[in-house]
Amino acid sequence: MEREILLVGIKLDELLAKIEAIVEAKLSKNYSFRNKDDPSTKYLSRAEVARLLKISLPTLHEWTKSELLQSYKIGNRVLYKQEEVEKALTQSPTFKYKRHYESKS
């Protein structure tokens, strides 16, 4: 049992324009993690951040848990803002031994 849809009173160009507007609206909702105030914000994946910092993925996970780096969960992905990663590098203290970090907290 097939159904036919008959469009009367609308031109093909108008129909395509409406479909395009609907698709763009849906896509903009799915990609709402982009900063609307600053469209130049670049997001990095976990692998890119680990490569940039020259650390392993487990170390990156520990730094995220200890709030040295801020992560953003978008769907199934974990992303980091590039500017925040660079800022964290300049602000974070370095300790030779872990016990020094724990005793000063």
* pTM for the predicted model, two decimal places: 0.52
Please indicate, yes or no, if residue 54 is contained in any of the structural domains. Answer: yes
Please indicate, yes or no, if residue 3 is contained in any of the structural domains. Answer: no
Which residue range(s) make up the domain with 67? 42-92
Q: What is the mean pLDDT of residues 27-41?
A: 60
Please indicate, yes or no, if residue 15 is contained in any of the structural domains. Answer: no
CATH number at residue 76: 1.10.1660.10
Residue 28 has pLDDT above 50, yes or no: yes
Residue 26 has pLDDT above 60, yes or no: yes
Please indicate, yes or no, if residue 59 is contained in any of the structural domains. Answer: yes
Residue 30 has pLDDT above 60, yes or no: no
Please indicate, yes or no, if residue 62 is contained in any of the structural domains. Answer: yes
Please indicate, yes or no, if residue 68 is contained in any of the structural domains. Answer: yes
Buried b (16+ CB within 10 A) or exposed e, 52-88: eeeeeeeebbebbeeeebebeeeeeeebbbeebbeeb
Give the mean pLDDT of the chain. Answer: 79
61 CB-side CA count, 13 A: 3
Give the whole-angstrom CA distance, residue 33 versus residue 74. Answer: 7
Domain tally, the chain: 1
Contact (CB, 8 A) for 41 and 35: yes
Q: What is the mean pLDDT of residues 26-41?
A: 61
Q: What is the pLDDT of residue 23?
A: 84
Please indicate, yes or no, if residue 87 is contained in any of the structural domains. Answer: yes
In 19-100, the DSSP E strands lie at 43-45, 72-74, 77-81
